[in-house]
Amino acid sequence: MARARALDEEERKKAIKAHALDQLFDGDWTAAAGQFLLHWYGHSSHPKRLLVLTPDRIVLAAPPKRVSVRQAERMVVVAEIPASEARVEDPLLGIHRSDRLRIVFSDGSWLTVITDEERSEIHKHLMRRLRTVS
């Protein structure tokens, strides 16, 4: 049993690398993903972020730029991306459990988002959506 888990973990790590989910973004600072990252991190250097999907947009929030004691939980919206400009995907959906998602912009650039847990609510939403489409 432990050996099977170790093999599965090794395969998961290989899949993460194969899909470039071990990289923050596609590396092109002039593309939509690179510009978005510059904008996003310009609002707050705090590492905690919140990603919310709505039917027509991706909403990202972060703590205020200057975070003092007890303010880390206070989030402000720093970006709203229309569904026509980007989508959230789970490249490992149905293959491996993962704590990684990808935001893919309409120009083909992308960035990786690491969630607090494997199979986050967004992962589950993407799985349900895939089942209804299939």
How many other C-beta atoms are found inside a 10 Å radius of the C-beta of residue 33?
25
- The tens-digit pLDDT sequence of the chain (134 residues) is 777 677 778 888 888 899 888 998 998 999 999 998 888 777 766 677 788 888 889 888 887 766 556 655 678 788 889 999 999 888 887 677 778 889 999 999 999 988 876 666 776 777 776 666 55
Measured distance CA(57)–CA(52) in Å, rounded = 9
Residues 53-56: contacts with CB under 8 Å, at least 24 apart:
53/88, 53/122, 53/125, 55/83, 56/82, 56/83
